[in-house]
Structure 1
Amino acid sequence: MSDEDTFVGEDASRYFTQLHGRRRNVLNERYMLPADEDEIRRYSYHHRILQFVCAGRNYVGPVKEVLTYPGVKHKRRVLDVGTGGGLWAIEMADEFPRVDVTGVDLAPIQPREVPPNCSFELCDLDGPELPYSNHAYDIIHARSMHTGIGNYQQFVNELTRMLRPGGILILIEPDSQPVVDGKRPQTSYASGAPGWFALWEAYRNCLTRKGVDVNVPSHLGAIIRQTGAYEKIRVQEASIPIGFWPKDETLLTIGQLAWMEYDHLLPAMRPMLLEAGIPEWKVKVLIEDAHRDMYEPVMPPSVRLHVVHAIKK
């Protein structure tokens, strides 16, 4: 997909602005990653990795049963919050042609030609009240959202309000804590990958300055339990290799996809780092050193992915 596929007209200032050479959304100042062609490509790699994590599907839990159970009178609906490039919503609409699928994002970077039961909307989801009705959706899916949300508990409370009883909430968040050789080192020198460690520490500091709780991914289960509205809460954690070091064939494929995703993600951090007041020369060094640790790893890097699904009582 290219910028031509997501063209919004000659004047795109209602949707996008430029920040340090990258296009970004105008609705939410907290979410700092770009909204351009390179970022759409990164989304596609991330989407494919998650399909491996979900055993070749786009979901975890009894989603198919909920969306195809006979005898239900209401029109079944799925909401994909933080849809990004829209791949998840489009593929869900293809798999379930009798279900209405809506993708919501900060920027109109989704393709214009989609299945007839798929649509996209613009909305800033970082607020106390979301503009969606009570009990409106059978499945709500949110992934890689926490870096644009100031109060994630409040966000989940709103998703819970919007979910029908018996519906499924799916939350997926990658951890921003640097992991090398399967461990979370306490210092950059102990990591064996000081450049990789230093960039992620700078990134987490930037998120904290923006009011983001960087510990949300590892607390997803507790956040869902705090609502008191769910049963059968399933918490999973996956270790995603980054690079070409795994010996297992499937893990190697995942590692290659993750390598391509993070090859796009590291330079995408540049606007956020600069906006935080870090000098340009230091940002350049941070990204170059992290890339070096990824390209020529002394200790193999990975990322922890937190996946939770629960059924509303």
Structure 2
Amino acid sequence: MDIREVQRDASQRDTLQRDTLQRDAVQRDAVQRDAAQPDGPQPDDPQQTLDHSKKLDPDDARFASPLTHPNGTSIFPTLSASEQHLMAQEALEQAQEAIVLDEQVVRDDSDAGYSSDGFSSATTSAQSSVRDYLYENGRRYHRFREGSYNFPNDDVEQEREDMKHAMVKLLCSQKLLFAPIGNNPQQMLDLGTGTGIWAIEVGDQYPSAHVLGVDLSPIQPDWLPPNVRFLVDDVESTWLYPPNHFDYIHSRHTVMAVRDWRRLFRHAYQHLKPGGWIELQEIHHKPRSARPDGRPLSPDHAVAQFWARVNEGLTGLGVDLDRATGGYLAQAMRDEGLVNITERVFHVPIGTWPKNKVLKTVGLYWRTILLDGLQAIALGPLTRGLHWDRQQVEMFLVDVRRAYHDNSALMYMPLHILYAQKPE
């Protein structure tokens, strides 16, 4: 998909989401006649136990500018090269420290027509199998190891996952990974590869490597780089790969699926080469507020309520979203023998409240991703975990959809990037 198409689609979706708010209110009144909205507990805020002293250096030549894409297209063509460089430096620094808000946007509670960015794609041949799906509440789910993953895998969700990939790349200055793996890795593994977009791009970046992407769903494209292949498997089952085999293992956006992180790290330790690296990139889906006065986001805020319910439902299904925090994951890595554990934390804004244009674009991207995925995120945890019916879910989402457009709340979520090494 071309970068400009993604940019246009995100802007159009954001506009449509605003237009549906009034209609949703009418629908909610109708649904309320048939269903009641239940209450439930909210998880405590997890303790952050790691020292995040290491920051990305915006002057490091390893980082490409987030303002220019591989095809040469500029995100902000009206800005000079020096202005774009300064903006990129500012975005990297603020994402790891404190994001400066755009006071006019917060005051007016509007987006001023801001549009989002996109991603690149790649092409060459793959095999696929196990194409048997489960349909539930109007969405398509995987059939292999049914119930292991409680979210859809249909075309709408795949587009959302690819947009999430684009958002993380933009936030991280186009960097696909952070572990110091060198320039010549031979064997790379992508856990929960999804659409395969990360595996495809990393295969292009490291032509010396054989890249294997593993997922429960065979939804990857048929045309791939020659050094990339995919396998349908459950990463929480016994791994059948050779021991001491991989130079690098990658996992991103899997916190909503993994039940036993220690077991996963145990597998990684066994199958990494001595000196090999594992890297996680996980967003902690507990919204926070960047208010200058230090006030946290109220637990009564509709977005906070939404994620509390989702976490409650997933907990009943064996998954704990609060384990996305660096403290828990780092300790689990350490317990399984991994060393040289390093964490980076980036603030991912929700909405267009940041002043920096890169972070403003990231915020629009992330809000669009969250709004597009409201139903996909909610249905599995709330119907399977809390035993709500679909009407209850749809009613619950009405206020959440409106609340995501509240720029005055200065909402963000932390992205935890951790990497660790198997001892030499």
**Which of the five TM-score ranges fits, normalised by the shorter chain?**
0.7 to 0.9
d(CA) in 1 for partners of 2:274 and 2:304? 43
Q: Which of the residues 240, 243, 250 maps onto 1:134?
A: 243
Query: Would you say the 8 A contact 1:82–1:106 is kept in 2?
Result: yes
In the alignment, what sits opposite 2:20?
A: none
Query: Would you say the 8 A contact 1:146–1:152 is kept in 2?
Result: no
Cα displacement string for residues 164-223 of structure 1 (whole angstroms, at most 9, x for unaligned residues): 11111101111122323367958533xxxx211111111000110001122211122111
CA 1:200–1:47 in 2, change beyond 3 Å: closer, same or farther? same
The answer to whether structure 1 residue 24 and structure 2 residue 141 are counterparts is yes
Q: Which of the residues 117, 134, 156 maps onto 2:227?
A: 117
The answer to whether structure 1 residue 81 and structure 2 residue 191 are counterparts is yes
Q: CA deviation at 1:260?
A: 1.9
Unaligned runs of 5+ in 2: 2-122
The answer to whether structure 1 residue 269 and structure 2 residue 382 are counterparts is no
In the alignment, what sits opposite 1:150?
A: 259
Query: Would you say the 8 A contact 1:147–1:212 is kept in 2?
Result: yes
The answer to whether structure 1 residue 54 and structure 2 residue 172 are counterparts is yes
In the alignment, what sits opposite 2:160?
A: 42
Query: Would you say the 8 A contact 1:34–1:268 is kept in 2?
Result: yes
Q: Which amino acid aligns with 2:226?
A: P
Q: CA deviation at 1:79?
A: 0.4
d(CA) in 2 for partners of 1:13 and 1:77? 25
Cα displacement string for residues 92-143 of structure 1 (whole angstroms, at most 9, x for unaligned residues): 111111211111111011111000110011001223x222221111110011
- Please state whether the residue corresponding to 2:315 is helix, strand or coil: helix
Q: CA deviation at 1:269?
A: 2.0
d(CA) in 2 for partners of 1:257 and 1:46? 8
Moved more, 58-67 or 132-141: 58-67
In the alignment, what sits opposite 2:108?
A: none
Q: CA deviation at 1:47?
A: 0.9
- Please state whether the residue corresponding to 2:182 is helix, strand or coil: helix
CA 1:206–1:184 in 2, change beyond 3 Å: closer, same or farther? farther
Q: CA deviation at 1:147?
A: 1.9
CA 1:199–1:116 in 2, change beyond 3 Å: closer, same or farther? same
d(CA) in 2 for partners of 1:90 and 1:290? 34
Q: CA deviation at 1:248?
A: 0.7
Q: Which of the residues 373, 388, 403 maps onto 1:278?
A: 388
Query: Would you say the 8 A contact 1:171–1:220 is kept in 2?
Result: no
Q: How many residues align?
A: 294
Q: CA deviation at 1:66?
A: 5.3
The answer to whether structure 1 residue 165 and structure 2 residue 274 are counterparts is yes
Show the 5 A alignment for 1:1-313.
14-28=131-145, 29-65=147-183, 67=185, 76-127=186-237, 129-181=238-290, 185=296, 188-189=299-300, 194-218=301-325, 219-230=328-339, 232-272=340-380, 273-275=382-384, 276-313=386-423
Which fold has the larger relative contact order, with Cα–Cα distance below 8 Å and residues 6 or more apart in sequence?
2
In angstroms, what is the RMSD of aligned CA positions? 2.4
Q: Which amino acid aligns with 2:135?
A: Q
d(CA) in 1 for partners of 2:177 and 2:126? 30
TM-score (norm 2): 0.65
d(CA) in 1 for partners of 2:378 and 2:284? 19
In the alignment, what sits opposite 1:70?
A: none
Q: Please identify runs of 4+ aligned residues in structure 1 that moved more than 6 A.
A: 5-9
Relative to its length, the structure with more strand (as a share) is 1
Percent of matched pairs sharing the same residue: 28
Unaligned runs of 5+ in 1: 68-75
Query: Would you say the 8 A contact 1:156–1:224 is kept in 2?
Result: yes
**Larger Rg over CA atoms:** 2
Cα displacement string for residues 8-57 of structure 1 (whole angstroms, at most 9, x for unaligned residues): 99xx9853111111111122413111101111111112112222343321
- Please state whether the residue corresponding to 1:269 is helix, strand or coil: helix
